[in-house]
């Protein structure tokens, strides 16, 4: 059966199209830097592209290529490009599409380093960036300039959980011939498939949901068209942003349970969001599954589920947040997200600490905002944990 016809959970188990000549049921780790040519002519054919034989692991490797095909199948794209980390994927996209004199429009509330690298490094290479609340479609239209070469979106936004309308924003960018890249880390292809909604490129920190076990750092880009795929791949290979075969093996293993992990964590998240929303010490909760979320309807249309990430603010602001983070016993106080374990963190002093205070406030990243990544523990235990920690706030 062609894997295109399979449901996503079947693709997660059987996708990637690897057939081991010795019959291994799992994808082996081809832990080699280089590959032997049959003879000089074969080597020449590999380099010219007449043969698709392997040459060198930075360029291609059977374990890594299997993971690339798997994620491309999940995202309905032409091809995947694996990177050493999520930031390797982000920088491959920036390096491929942005040249001196170009301009990028980006969501204001993005992963901290995705913004910081534009402000602090690409700016020095003559590349300008405008950060807007991309959940405001008109703000996106107004930010576009004649030299805009990329619309870069994160939805749900990090850590504010706003939703950007991918169909509307892609249409605006495409009117001007501008490619759209979406960081899909917060949803994973299990919940959102941006290429089907108009995006040209989707990227992931697979460190998060796709691997899901807090034991690998890894990234992936998927392009909708072959020409874009070829350009991105060339930059990844020559910049040395490549993945290692052992990383690929671990992510392939982790990805098999993506669906059941998210289903379970999402059920937990819904209950926890409702619990927090009704708690007297909580100022607000932002979770796409709550009716109180400003883009609840858009989330329902664009995503297959509201996900497992939520942010909230305590009435006591940062001080109350600190008490909560220091008193939870089951949730782990750590950055990252999308794993089997529940994590809690404070963006203003942690993941977004290098973003300027002014930019943070403009992006609604308030000092008291707490980010909570729901895991697959028993939800009653997670709620009791929050309950006892919230009780410590006076």
Ligand X SMILES: *Cc1c(COP(=O)(O)O)cnc(C)c1O
Min dist CB 57 to ligand X, Å, is 20
Peptide bond into 342 cis (omega under 30): no
Q: Extract the runs of DSSP E, i.e. beta strands, from 214-347.
A: 219-223, 282-286, 309-314, 332-333, 343-345
Min dist CB 113 to ligand X, Å, is 7
Give me the residues paired with residue 83 across strands: 219
Of the pair 114, 134, the CB lying nearest ligand X is at 114
Of the pair 46, 77, the CB lying nearest ligand X is at 77
Of the pair 63, 107, the CB lying nearest ligand X is at 107
Min dist CB 232 to ligand X, Å, is 16
207: left (phi over 0), alpha (psi -120 to 50) or beta: alpha
Min dist CB 55 to ligand X, Å, is 26
Of the pair 148, 185, the CB lying nearest ligand X is at 185
Catalytic residue among 11, 115, 208, 360: 208
Element holding 183 (H helix, E strand) = strand 180-183
- For the chain, how many helices (H) and strands (E)? 15, 12
Min dist CB 269 to ligand X, Å, is 16
Give me the residues paired with residue 313 across strands: 284, 369
Q: Is 145 a catalytic residue?
A: no
Catalytic residue among 102, 133, 165, 183: 183
- The site for ligand X (CB under 6 A) is made up of 85-87, 90, 111, 114, 154, 158, 183, 185-186, 205, 207-208, 217, 219
Q: Is 208 a catalytic residue?
A: yes
Catalytic residue among 111, 152, 287, 372: 111
Closest CA to 375 of 345, 332, 313: 332
Dihedral sign (CA 188, 194, 196, 201): negative
Min dist CB 388 to ligand X, Å, is 28
Catalytic residue among 11, 58, 233, 360: 58
| Separation between Cα atoms, residue 249 and residue 351, nearest integer Å | 28
Of the pair 61, 85, the CB lying nearest ligand X is at 85
Query: Is 350 exposed, middle or buried (CB count within 10 Å of its CB: 0-12, 13-18, 19+)?
Result: middle
Please, are residues 228 and 120 in contact by the beta-carbon 8 Å criterion? no
Please, are residues 220 and 210 in contact by the beta-carbon 8 Å criterion? yes
Min dist CB 214 to ligand X, Å, is 12
Give the number of other CB atoms < 10 A from CB of residue 8.
Answer: 16
Cβ-based neighbours of 376, under 8 Å, separated by 6 or more: 261, 264, 265, 268, 340
Which residue's beta carbon is nearest to the bound ligand X?
Answer: 86
Of the pair 217, 376, the CB lying nearest ligand X is at 217
Give the number of other CB atoms < 10 A from CB of residue 176.
Answer: 13
Of the pair 63, 185, the CB lying nearest ligand X is at 185
| Per-position b or e across 230-249, b if 16+ CB within 10 A of its CB | eebbebbbeeebbbbbebbb
Of the pair 85, 320, the CB lying nearest ligand X is at 85
**Lookup: tokens for 250:** 């671990």
Min dist CB 84 to ligand X, Å, is 8
Active site residues: 58, 111, 183, 208
């Amino acid at each position: 059966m062609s894997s295109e016809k399979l449901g996503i959970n079947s693709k997660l188990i059987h996708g990637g199209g690897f057939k081991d000549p010795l019959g291994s049921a799992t994808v082996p780790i081809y832990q080699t830097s280089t590959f032997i040519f049959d003879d000089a002519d074969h080597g020449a054919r590999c380099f010219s592209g007449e043969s698709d034989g392997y040459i060198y692991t930075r360029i291609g490797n059977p374990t890594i290529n299997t993971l690339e095909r798997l994620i491309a199948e999940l995202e309905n794209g032409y091809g995947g490009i694996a990177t050493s980390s999520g930031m390797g994927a982000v920088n491959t996209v920036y390096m491929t599409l942005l040249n001196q004199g170009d301009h990028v429009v980006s969501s204001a509330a993005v992963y901290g380093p995705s913004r910081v690298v534009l402000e602090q490094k690409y700016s020095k290479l003559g590349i300008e960036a405008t950060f807007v609340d991309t959940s405001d479609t008109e703000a996106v239209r107004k930010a576009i300039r004649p030299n805009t070469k990329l619309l870069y979106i994160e939805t749900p936004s990090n850590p504010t959980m706003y939703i950007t309308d991918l169909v509307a924003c892609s249409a605006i960018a495409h009117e001007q011939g501008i490619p759209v890249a979406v960081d899909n880390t917060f949803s994973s292809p299990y919940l959102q498939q941006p290429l089907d909604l108009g995006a040209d490129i989707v990227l992931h920190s697979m460190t998060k949901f796709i691997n899901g076990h807090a034991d690998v750092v890894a990234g992936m880009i998927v392009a909708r068209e072959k020409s874009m795929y070829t350009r991105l791949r060339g930059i990844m290979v020559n910049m040395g942003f490549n993945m290692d075969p052992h990383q690929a093996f671990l992510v392939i293993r982790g990805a098999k349970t993506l669906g059941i992990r998210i289903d379970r964590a999402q059920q937990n998240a819904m209950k926890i969001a409702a619990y927090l929303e009704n708690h007297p010490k909580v100022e607000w909760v932002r979770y796409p599954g709550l009716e109180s979320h400003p883009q609840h309807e858009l989330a329902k249309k664009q995503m297959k589920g509201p996900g497992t990430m939520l942010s909230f603010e305590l009435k006591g602001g940062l001080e109350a947040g600190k008490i909560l983070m220091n008193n939870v016993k089951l949730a782990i106080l750590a950055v990252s997200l999308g794993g089997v374990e529940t994590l809690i963190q404070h963006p203003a002093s942690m993941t977004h600490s290098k973003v300027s205070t002014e930019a943070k406030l403009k992006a609604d990243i308030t000092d008291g905002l707490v980010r909570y990544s729901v895991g697959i523990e028993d939800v009653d235990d997670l709620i009791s944990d929050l309950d006892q920690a919230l009780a410590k706030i006076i």
